[in-house]
Structure 1
Amino acid sequence: MAELLVRNARIVYPATRGFVVDRGWLLAQDGVISGLAAGDVPVDVARLVAGRQEIDAAGMTLLPGLLNTHMHLYSMYSRGIGTGRVSHSFLDVLQDLWWRLDRSLLKDACWMSATFSGMDSLRSGTTTIVDHHASPSYIAGSLSTLSDALSKIGLRHVLSYEITDRNGIQGAVAGVDENTRFFDEVREKKGLASGMVGLHASFTVSDVTLTTLRERVGSRKVGYHVHVAEGAVDEEDSVEKYGKRIVTRLDDAGLLGPRSIAVHCVGIDASERELLAKSGTPVVVNTMSNMNNAVGLPAVREMLKAGIQVGIGTDGYTANMFEEFRNTLVGLRHRYEDPAGFWAEVQQAQIETNADIVSRCTGCTVGRLEEGAAADFILVDYASPTPLNSENAFGHMFFGMSADLVDTVVVNGNVAVKGHHVLGVNREDLERESRKVAKAVWEAFDRLS
């Protein structure tokens, strides 16, 4: 039995009904939290166990690992890239940058982007990502390539491939098959990987492809990870082509439900909110990306009022969930012109709803500090200059803690980051190799201009 014992930690679960233990301990056995409490480690727990790892937290703050419920690992290759174009709309952004970039990715680029973006996520305190992948020039096997890279660095992950018709019906079917193949590959394993079925957006997915998807998914109990109404073009296309709004179209296709994720939802209306609530489909908002693409921010207050669970992701804009949930708060306050609003809502979204979403995706309890939950947690080297208690813990997390202060990251009971360094990898060697791969990606990107 693999064991990890953490001593002398300030244990903080910063939920709306959370707790703070000023000095305590946590025991993980075979990847699961088997005990945690205040004070010294009890004698029966402290006994010597062969092979057990021990960490003296020396007063550092122990938090549940952060969760990113919408990510694009391959966006790493956009860092420093030039498109040679001026984008005037959201559709321009897709055509000028992202659809050229994803077509430029081959196996080595997929592996390297997963490794580096995964390392950035871990070092920022994120222990699980829900990724939405696209690489039209390398579809079959792409999710396994990502999973191999992420598993090697110790990051829990939920993967899907972006089904779309924009590369022809053959590419769309290949995307369907990659999703089902990977889902079947990992669902019986007790590793770090889980699968979903990904779709790009309604305006690039035909009814023929939706029918093929449902036929090939068959009886599998799988969730769907879908971009919904990120830009106005998506709703306009759905109404014009199909005579119905996007969420209605997804509902008619049988793609909604608690296991699914509706991403963005900037342009949905009240009737669509009602359908999402009725089906139990959560929405994941991505504030920094939405603001960067100038598409507006979703009607989160109305979503919550309708009974929709709202989580937080980054859309690949960053790997840093500390940045993202801060910007979610200030972005929503700006949208609604409400300087006192959304504190409890963002707290619940980041700490509780993201945990609910990931737990449904993975089939295990993730993002919680309780016995039986996955042993995914972080140690933050945070010196509290003011009192810290269960009522204000999220305030300390929001205003005082940051990715730079993350010292140790544990996923599935294994130490993945120590001293802010990802274990088991030579970062300098990887950087040199990644720059070579990036050069080839950018050259392919330029040829598509």
Structure 2
Amino acid sequence: MYLIGNGKLFTRDAKNPYMECGGIIVENNLIKEVGNFTVLKNKYPNAEIIDAKNQIIMPAFINVHNHIYSSLARGLSIKNHNPKNFLEILEGLWWNLDNHLTLENDKVSAKVTYLNCIENGVTTVFDHHASYKKTEGSLMELAEVAKEYKLRTCLCYEVSDRNGEEEMKKAVKENVDFINYANNNTSDMIKGTMGLHASFTLSDDTLRYVVEQNPEGAGYHVHIAEGMDDLEDSLSKYGVRTVERLHSMGVLGPKTVAGHCIYIDDKEIDLLKSTDTMVVHNPESNMGNAVGAPDVLKIFDKGILIGLGTDGYTNDMIESYKVANILQKHMHKDPNCAWGEIPTMLFEHNAQIANRFFQTPLGKIEEGYAADIIFVDYDPITPMDENNINSHILFGMNGMNVTTTICNGEILMRDRKLLHINKEEVMEESRREAADLWRRVNANR
């Protein structure tokens, strides 16, 4: 048992949102009690004290859509690759990259990504993986690193027809094997779901096969209408829009995570709502790929559970929050919009999405919730309380202000020092693996 406290505590609990000098009693992996730091110190005199030193104390972040394997592409320049549209980006960069990834590449990409998540205060990661050079065992490589680094993660493998039927079936099997492994894991820290790339790389036969093979209750993690190619392919081949097609094939539902959803119409939004399908917005990725921007406010207002992800662009959820906020203002030409919806997506909806997979309550500092807690080194230059904390986060903080990260009751980083990871060794290994990967990628150009 230990006592976290002596800081400005923001709980995300509407009944008790803020304490000027808050304290949290943690027992095993759960929050046992929340209250005034001094009162708790007197009540639990034998508890080890984790002193926040007047920093911000808040729940750790959750990222509901990431691509761990993309980490080794940072700084990569591919010969003769000058994409003019999203499909060329996929074919020339990402599909090219994942066709060269080895299991060792997967493992190292997981190390540097999960490490960076800890540094940015992210303790729960939903990842969408692909490494078609070596599919079998790839999700376990990610999971083993997550276990070693003591993070919570939900993994899937990207099923696609782009490499032929045999590789597609290997991808389905990788998902099924991992889902069964995760279902037998009693720690509630590792989960699995069925990964799908997108409608335009999945035939009807493949979708029928996937639905048939997917273990009951596992759900799906799929990109939907991220680019116009997805919509145009669905209309031209099947005569329906993307969401309609996936609905007809049995993919939508309350445990389906739908990334992007840019090119969807009102009927499709109604389908997402009626099936209780979850949506994830990835603002920086959408802008970087020049695919457009979804009307997340319309999706939000419909009552759909829509969260915030990064799509591999960053591991800093505050950065994603900042961009999502200004992107909607720019898109709607309305400086007054998105003030409430985007932080709700990040701080409330992401936790609700995660809790459709993980049983331990997440996202609040409240009795019975997972002890996923961060300290943020931020000294406000103006008054700060529960009424304006989102504005302080938006305009005053970034992920690297995080100094201490606790996940499931385990202290992973304290005073910016990683406690279970040799960062220097990991970074050197990552640079070495990336250089070899880049050489192999460019050797085939």
Give the TM-score of the pair, scaled to structure 1: 0.95
SS of the aligned residue for 2:290 comes to coil
Matched to 1:69, the amino acid is V
Distance across 1 between alignment mates of 2:396 and 2:30:
29
Which of 35, 38, 41 is the equivalent residue of 1:40? Answer: 38
Q: Deviations over 1:48-85 (max 9, x none)?
A: 26xxx430112111111011110001111111111221
- Structure 1 residues 152, 435: CA separation in 2 closer, same or farther (over 3 Å shift)? same
Return the offset for 1:363. 2.4
1:135 aligns with 2:131: yes
Query: Which of 416, 421, 426 is the equivalent residue of 1:425?
Result: 421
Cα contact 1:65–1:126 (8 A) shared by 2: yes
8 A Cα contact 2:3 2:41, kept in partner: no
The AA in structure 2 aligned to 1:114 is A
Question: Does the C-alpha gap of structure 1 residues 68 and 202 become closer, same or farther in structure 2, counting only changes over 3 Å?
Answer: same
Range that drifts further, 186-195 or 174-183: 186-195
Q: 1:401 Cα shift?
A: 2.0
Match of 1:173 among 169, 176, 186: 169
The Cα offsets for residues 73-116 of structure 1, whole Å up to 9 and x where unpaired, read as 11111111112211011000001100011111111100000010
Please give the residue correspondences for 1:88-167 in structure 2 after superposition, counting only pairs within 5 Å. 88-167=84-163
Deviation digits for residues 346-404 of structure 1, max 9, x if unmatched?
11111101110011122221111111111101011111222221111111121122222
Superposed CA offset, 1:117-153 (max 9, x none): 1111110111111100000111111111001112212
Q: Which of residues 78, 81, 84 in structure 2 aligns to 1:83?
A: 78
The CA distance in 1 between the partners of 2:317 and 2:152, in whole Å, is 15
Amino acid across the alignment from 1:21: M
Distance 2:40 2:295 in 1: 49
Give the corresponding residue for 1:332: 328
- C-alpha change, 1:352 and 1:17, in structure 2 (3 Å) is farther
Measured in 2, the distance between the counterparts of 1:199 and 1:89 equals 22
Q: Out of 297, 301, 314, which is 1:305 matched to? A: 301
1:29-53 CA distances to partner (integer Å, 9 max, x unpaired)? 221111111241436742326xxx4
Distance in 2 between residues matched to 1:339 and 1:78, nearest whole Å: 35
Q: 1:90 to 1:17 in 2, by over 3 A?
A: farther
Cα contact 1:4–1:413 (8 A) shared by 2: no
Alpha-carbon RMSD: 1.6
Matches within 5 A, 1:393-404: 393-404=389-400
Name 2:411's counterpart in structure 1.
415
2:27 aligned residue = 29
Q: What is residue 205 of structure 1 aligned with on the other side?
A: 202
- What is the identity, as a one-letter code, of the residue corresponding to 1:80? G
The AA in structure 2 aligned to 1:215 is: E
In structure 1, C-alpha distance between the alignment counterparts of 2:326 and 2:116, rounded to whole Å? 24
- Once the two structures are TM-superposed, the CA of residue 14 in structure 1 deviates from its matched residue by 4.9
Cα pair 1:133 1:159 within 8 Å, conserved: yes
- Contact 1:14/1:393 (<8 A) preserved: no
- When residues 149 and 211 of structure 1 are mapped into structure 2, their CA distance, relative to the original with a 3 A threshold, is same
Contact 1:223/1:257 (<8 A) preserved? yes
- DSSP-derived class of the 1:175 partner: helix
**Residues 8, 56 of structure 1: 8 Å contact kept:** yes
Distance 1:192 1:358 in 2: 11
Tell me if structure 1 keeps the 8 A contact 2:12–2:363.
no
Deviations for 1:234-265, whole angstroms, at most 9, x for unmatched residues?
Answer: 01111111221111111112221221111001
| Residues 437, 200 of structure 1: alpha-carbon distance in 2 compared, 3 angstrom cutoff | same
Is 1:223 matched with 2:233? Answer: no
Partner of 1:68: 63
**2:401 is aligned with what amino acid?**
L
2:269 pairs with 1:296: no
- The structure 1 residue matched to 2:272, chosen from 265, 276, 291, is 276
Is 1:67–1:355's contact at 8 Å kept on the other side of the alignment? yes
SS in 2 for 1:23: strand
Three-state SS of the structure 2 residue aligned to 1:316 is coil
1:399-437: CA deviation from partner (whole Å, max 9, x where unpaired) = 122222111000000001112232222222222222221
Look up the SS of the partner of 1:40 in the other structure: helix
Answer yes or no: is the 8 Å Cα contact 2:281–2:309 preserved in 1.
Answer: yes
Match for 1:383: what amino acid?
D
Q: Secondary structure at the match of 2:20?
A: strand
Paired residue type of 1:28: V
CA contact (8 A) 1:4 1:414 kept: no
Relative to structure 1, the CA distance from residue 136 to residue 45 in structure 2 (aligned partners, 3 Å threshold; closer, same or farther) is farther
- Larger CA deviation: 192-201 vs 323-332: 192-201
Aligned partner of 2:211 among 205, 209, 214: 214
Equivalent AA in structure 1 for residue 192 of structure 2: G
Closer/same/farther in 2, CA of residues 43 and 378 from structure 1, 3 Å limit? closer
Given the alignment, which residue of 49, 54, 58 partners 1:59? 54
Q: Which moved more, 1:128-137 or 1:436-445?
A: 436-445
Distance 1:180 1:243 in 2: 30
CA shift, 1:13, in A, is 2.9
Maintained 8 Å contact 1:230/1:295: yes
How many angstroms does 1:195 deviate by? 1.0
Aligned equivalents of 2:100, 2:201: Cα separation in 1: 19
Over 3 Å counting, the alpha-carbon distance change for 1:244 and 1:448 in structure 2 is: farther
Q: Following the alignment from structure 2 to structure 1, what is the Cα–Cα distance between the partners of residues 395 and 144?
A: 35
**Which residue of structure 2 lines up, in the alignment, with residue 192 of structure 1?**
189
Alignment-derived partner of residue 254 in structure 1: 250
